[in-house]
Chains A and B, each alone.
Chain A
Amino acid sequence: MYKPNDLVLRTTTSLIAFILLGFAIYLLLAGHNSPGGGFVGGLLTSGAILLMYMAYGMEVVKKIIPINFTLLIPIGLSFAVGTGLGSFIFNVPFLSQTFGYFHLPIFGEIELATAMIFDIGVYFTVVGVMMTIILTIANDQ
């Protein structure tokens, strides 16, 4: 049987995929003040997962990442809508946002904003949608 040589692809994938995931998280966190944000972070994360799928095949990756990507969509949406609903609790106009400076053990003094939670919601939704689309097309034989 003809067996293609995937050695280069697989070796580099294990390296590149993690760089991509790191870059995705960086973009997600940078999104508040500079280019980036939940959307592009999610896009890059799904790119990394797609890379793993291409290198290792469907079955293996499903074992490594046992996540139902379709379920990520409503979870992300709940995050995003939840930030809006917070305005009902604190009695401020809908979609108001706030930020503060906190001192965390490792990171030191950083700025945390409620817009971040919304971005995380977008991130999950985008990952969910992208992976659902990709896997649906890939499964369609």
Chain B
Amino acid sequence: MNDLLALTEQILQVSLVICFIGIAASLILLLYQVMIGPTQPDRAVALDTMGINIMALAGLLSISIVTSKLNDVVLLIGILSFLGTLAIAKYLEKGVIIDRNLE
């Protein structure tokens, strides 16, 4: 039984490392996407995806260091990235982020 437990622990550790590497690679690729574009919406999508990746990173970190304190952080990053994407999207569509008067 103990052997099995140790094995699962080990599997968890290995898969965590694999996930970290995967996310790191995807973040680098996304950064490249942000730089080359070619159009602004591409960049916006890449930035949004980066936000999601960072959320995943925080989640993995909370598994890795065994704590539940990072759950709020995941939520917070999600919200901020949502706001950021929204602002970029609105800027791309309308040219302003906060309208003076909509009606």
Contacts from A to B (Cβ < 8 Å): 4, 6, 9, 16, 20, 23, 27, 30, 34-36, 40, 44, 47, 50-51, 53-54, 56-60, 134-135, 138
Contact = CB atoms under 8 A, between A and B. Distances in A.
B86 A51 contact: yes
Task: Give the interface SS of chain B, mostly helix, strand, loop or mixed.
Answer: helix
B5 interface: no
Contact of A40 (B76, B93, B94, B101): B76
Nearest to B68: A34
15 contacts: A4-B94, A6-B102, A9-B90, A23-B79, A35-B70, A44-B76, A44-B79, A51-B83, A57-B98, A57-B99, A57-B101, A58-B100, A59-B100, A59-B102, A60-B101
Number of contact residues on B: which range applies? 20 to 34
